[in-house]
Amino acid sequence: MTTRTRTLLTIAALAASASLVACHRQEAQDDRTAGQKVDATVAQAEQKMDQAKNEVSRSAAEARQDVEHAATDAKGAVNDAAITASVNAQLARDNELSAMRINVDTVAGRVALKGSAPSNVARERATEIASAVDGVRSVDNQLTIGANG
């Protein structure tokens, strides 16, 4: 049982106890029989327990969603890192393109190429190479053509 569940159950128990004390205070003014008073107190306690149970269920569902989102985010980060590594490896195999001069960033499968290429043909080949990697959704080629390429 989680700490949050225990806390909610404790709150429900305290609420039920408070109801019993309140009933006891009103006893002098109450014309109900002892059985009716017990039934009313039990009904109130059941209602409080149902509310606590619903709160626990809701909190558990929210926690489950948070875990699922975290897992999805982690999986996405791992996929992006794998795509970046793959693009870098493919660029390193090319005779004209220098993986050392091209920075590859990947976010949600979208690859950004930054740096320099020796020619327009090499620049376009970098786009083709990156696009061919599994998981790549798009390529933003920001490579410049220059003597440093």
Tokens of 79: 């996929």
CATH classification of the domain holding 93:
3.30.1340
Higher pLDDT, 33 or 88: 88
Would the pLDDT of 123 be above 80?
yes
pLDDT at 34: 82
Does residue 35 share a domain with residue 78? no
Tokens of 89: 């490896």
Contacts of 94 (CB under 8 A, 6+ apart): 122, 125, 126, 129
Strands (E), the chain: 102-107, 110-117, 138-145
Q: What one-character DSSP code corresponds to residue 41? A: H
Does residue 50 share a domain with residue 101? no
| Residue ranges making up the domain that contains 135 | 74-145
Contacts of 118 (CB under 8 A, 6+ apart): 96, 97, 145, 149
Does residue 78 share a domain with residue 97? yes
pLDDT at 22: 63
Comparing CA positions, the residue from 95, 82, 89, 63 lying closest to residue 136 is 82
Does residue 82 share a domain with residue 44? no
Mean pLDDT within 87-92: 91
